[in-house]
Chain A
Amino acid sequence: MAANTTMQTEAHAFAAATIFREARLLDTGEWADWVAMYSEDAVYWVPGWLDEYTTTNDPDTQVSLLYHDARRGLEERIARIESRKSITALPLPRTVHQVSNLEASETGPDEIICHSVFAVHVYDPRVAKEHLRHGRYEHTLRREGSTWKIARKVITLVNDHVPTVLDFYSI
C-alpha cells in the first residue's frame, strides 16, 4: 500500500510537471518544443457534441472538432501558422492556459493517464476582443525508451459555440 501510494504520488508529480510545461509552451509559442512532447503516432482529439450531454465517441464514423492520429497533423498546423500565410495568425492571438484539478494514475509500468480541467483565455490584439475556452483534458503519457511522451490527448471542449477560429493554441 505504501509503495503504491509513493508510486501514485510520483506519477502525479510527473504528470503535473508535464501538463504544466505543455501549457506554458503553448502560451509562449514554443511550438517545436511543444510538439516534441508528443509521440510520432500520438492521437490528438477534440470530439464534437452529439447533443447537450454526449460527445462523439468514434472519429471514423462521426465528425470531431479536431482529430489527428499522428503528430504530423499538429506539425502541419504549426507550419501553417509559422508560414505567416494564414491570416488566423496575423496577428496571432495571445493565450493563457490555466490547468487544474489534476488526477493521475499509473495504469502500467510505462503508462500514466491523467485527467485535468482547463480554461484558456484568448485575447485577439487585432480587434481587442477576448474569449474563454474551457473544458477537460485526458492525457495518456507513455514511456518511450528513456523519455516519456504524450501518446494521446483528448480535449472535451465544454463551450463549443466557437468564435471565428479554433486551433491547437486556443484549447
Chain B
Amino acid sequence: MRSADGKVGAFLNTCRHRGTIVCPFKQGRQKFHVCRYHGWAYDSSGRNISVTEEASGQYPPSFSNQNHDLLPVARLGSYRGFLFASLSADVPPLEDFLGDTRAFLDLIIDQSDSGEVEFVPGASTYTFDANWKLQFENGLDYYHFATTHSSYVDILKKRNTTAGPDAGFTAEPEGEQEGQGSFSFDYGHAVNWSIKRTQLYGRPLGMDPARLDAVRQRVGSTRAKWMLRQRNLTIFPNLQVIDILSAQVRTWRPLAPDKTEMVSHCLAPVGESAAARTLRIRNYEDFFNASGLASSDDNVMYEFCQTGYDATTAAPTQGYLRGVADIGHGESLHTRELGVNPSEWSFGPTSFGGETNFHPGYREWRRLLQHAAGESV
C-alpha cells in the first residue's frame, strides 16, 4: 500500500493482535485499515495508530514498549515500476538479483515514450493440478510450441491468409540470421527469444508505422529490432514476462505439490494508440489464461505430466538434454547487441527449442533447498 507521503510498502496482512487479516479486499484506496475483530487500527504506512481501549486494558508495562505496527515484508524493491518482495532477508540486493534480465524488462518498458508500463484492467486467476515447476519450464520451452499448440497454430495460419496491416506484422531487417536461442543468468533466471522472417502473429507496436519509427529513433535500430522479436523472460522463482503478440505478466503460487495458482495480467506501454491497445487486449485474450487458445493447452499438459509422474518406477525423464551438446559461453553476436553477459547462451535454427535454459532455475532451486536444510553449498 502507498503511504500518505507516497511511499510504497508491502506488509504481512495479519493484525499484530490476533493475526486476523486486516484488509480483505484485493485493491482499493483507504487512509486507515481497522481490524474488524477488536478494532486495532493502522495507517497506510503500516504504523499502528490505535490499540482499542489500551488505557483500560490492564496491559503489563512491557506492552507499551512493544512495536504494534504491521510487519513489512523482509525486502521490498522496485525496478522501473515492477515491485519485487521477498519474505526472507537473506537475498541479494534487487539490482544484483535481476542483473542483466533488466535489459529484457527495458525492452518492454522503453516501448513507451514516457518509460512507463501499466496493467490493463481485468486480471485473471486460475489454477492447474500440477507442480509449479511445470509452469516454470513451459515458459522457457520453445520445443513444445508446434505440437502442444498445433490447434492454435492452425487457427493463426488460417487467419493470416486474410490479415491486413492492422494485424501488426513486422519484418526482420535484411541480413539477419533466423533462429531461436536463450540466455541463462545468475539466480535461476533465463530468457528465450526468436528471430523469424515469417511470423505467426503481429504485435501492437507493429501496427502503427509512425509510432514504430518514433520508437526506433528514440531507442536505436538494434533495440527496436529486439522489441519486435518474441521474448519469454523467467525471473526465478515465480515471475514470467512475455512479449509476443501481446505482453503478459504472470506470477504463480504453489498451493500444494500438485496444485498451482496463477495470476495473469496484460501488460502495456503507457501512451500507445487506442487501436494498438485493443489489438493487444484481443491478442492477449486469444492466447493466454485458462480461457485462451494456447495457455489452456499448457495447463492440461502440466496435468498430463503430473499424472505421468505417478509412474514412480520410471527412470529420470530425458527432458533436460536438448541443446546440451552446444552451450555457448562468453560473447556472441546477440549478447553484444543487447549488452548482456549471460552465464550461458544457446542459438540454433528456427526449430530450435533448447532445454539448457531450465538448468539455472533448477540449480538455484536445489541451492535454496540445500541452504534451507543447513547444508553447505
Known: A51-B28, A164-B300. A56 touches B121 (CB 8 A): yes
A52 and B26 within 8 A (CB): yes
B122 and A48 within 8 A (CB): yes
A163 and B126 within 8 A (CB): yes
| Complex contacts, B291 vs chain A, CB 8 Å | 46, 65-66, 162, 165-167
B152 CB to nearest chain A CB (Å): 7
Q: Interface size bucket, A side? A: 35 or more
Known: A48-B123, A63-B120, A127-B129. A164 touches B154 (CB 8 A): no
A61 and B278 within 8 A (CB): yes
A161 to B128, CA, bound (A): 11
Contact residue among B126, B148, B289, B296 (Cβ-Cβ distance under 8 Å from A161): B126
Whether, in the assembled complex, A107 has its beta carbon less than 8 Å from a beta carbon of chain B, the answer is: no
Whether, in the assembled complex, A135 has its beta carbon less than 8 Å from a beta carbon of chain B, the answer is: no
Count of residues in B whose CB is under 8 Å from the partner chain: 40
| Complex contacts, B307 vs chain A, CB 8 Å | 127
B281 and A60 within 8 A (CB): yes
Contact residue among A63, A83, A127, A166 (Cβ-Cβ distance under 8 Å from B122): A63
A87 to B284, CA, bound (A): 20
A160 to B278, CA, bound (A): 22
A86 and B297 within 8 A (CB): yes
Produce 1/0 per residue, B41-63, CB < 8 A to A.
Answer: 00000000000000000000000
| Complex contacts, A80 vs chain B, CB 8 Å | 151-152, 154-155, 293
Residue of B nearest to A163 (CB): B127
Whether, in the assembled complex, B282 has its beta carbon less than 8 Å from a beta carbon of chain A, the answer is: yes
Whether, in the assembled complex, A67 has its beta carbon less than 8 Å from a beta carbon of chain B, the answer is: yes
Whether, in the assembled complex, A9 has its beta carbon less than 8 Å from a beta carbon of chain B, the answer is: no
| Complex contacts, A126 vs chain B, CB 8 Å | 303
| Complex contacts, B120 vs chain A, CB 8 Å | 61-63
26 chain-A/chain-B pairs, Cβ below 8 angstroms: A47-B122, A48-B121, A52-B25, A61-B121, A61-B278, A62-B281, A64-B281, A65-B124, A65-B291, A67-B282, A80-B154, A85-B150, A85-B151, A87-B297, A87-B300, A87-B301, A88-B300, A126-B303, A127-B129, A162-B124, A163-B128, A164-B129, A165-B290, A165-B291, A165-B296, A166-B289
Which residues in B have some Cβ–Cβ distance to A below 8 Å? 25-28, 120-129, 148, 150-152, 154-155, 266, 274, 277-278, 281-282, 284-285, 289-291, 293, 296-297, 299-301, 303-304, 307
A85-B154, A127-B129, A129-B129 given; 18 more Cβ-contact pairs under 8 Å = A49-B122, A50-B121, A51-B28, A52-B25, A56-B121, A59-B281, A61-B120, A63-B120, A67-B282, A80-B154, A85-B151, A86-B152, A88-B297, A162-B124, A162-B126, A164-B128, A164-B300, A166-B291
